[in-house]
Copies of this chain bind each other. A is one copy, B any other.
């Protein structure tokens, strides 16, 4: 296997995780989670979504989350924005980076953003200009890149075309989202290889959900093809309200534990991540899916080498 020596993890739990919680989490708990995460050595944290409070009330206090946390030096605090209004709020709240989102499938895009893919790409152009004027980097998620809950299979050509448009609009990175956790390692290899061939000159991140338990297998396949940037969600928080059957993102601490066991650096402290995962559980008030957390609880101790 061809493996990187270092992987960069983007933590998306405070956004992709908490936006899907049925309850609205109090502001101070959101800030506590972001601060616990920035204390782990993670350098990229997607802290909130600047979406309309009417659409997603869970994220109504996005600006306060950005303003209230410790803003630890060396950490990039990212805000997801669905449109121009969100972008203005995010810039005002002094995010370090903006994330935009578009789906590779028309029907999911309409469910998620209430408009078509072409309109969304137009809107992203406006956001891109705002980000450039503010001197901020921005990156683009392509949701349903490996399969759509409404349309089924997704043509990789669609994904690559959208990725090329995002790059041409000035994205510093593109994240391919396996929104419903349906990607398999062969598919990941294939899409990643095509991505590097067809859409050079833009960073590639992969965003896996662990719905069918394949997320870490997909990380292996993606690394083998040269990917070294992955999203994770603390404890396995998350899911997609518009994707029936979707469960959480791959748990950040499970991914980090695997990478460390393989001798791949991430810069994060595993014990601190585990504590953040337990904090996330306390905040949402239910057990999360992360596996090493459960293993640590079951054994009542950290075993040699790896919890």
Contact = CB atoms under 8 A, between A and B. Distances in A.
B258 A217 contact: yes
Interface in A237-278: 244-245, 247, 251, 254, 257-258, 261-263
A306 interface: yes
A2 to B, nearest CB: 10
Interface string A208-236: 00111111110111001000000000000
Copies of this protein in the complex: 2
Nearest to A306: B182
B220 A305 contact: no
B244 A212 contact: no
Interface string A24-38: 000000000000000
A149 interface: yes
Nearest to A213: B291
A152 to B, nearest CB: 3
A295 B221 contact: no
Contacts of A185: 1, 220, 258, 262
A286 interface: no
A258 B1 contact: no
A294 B247 contact: yes
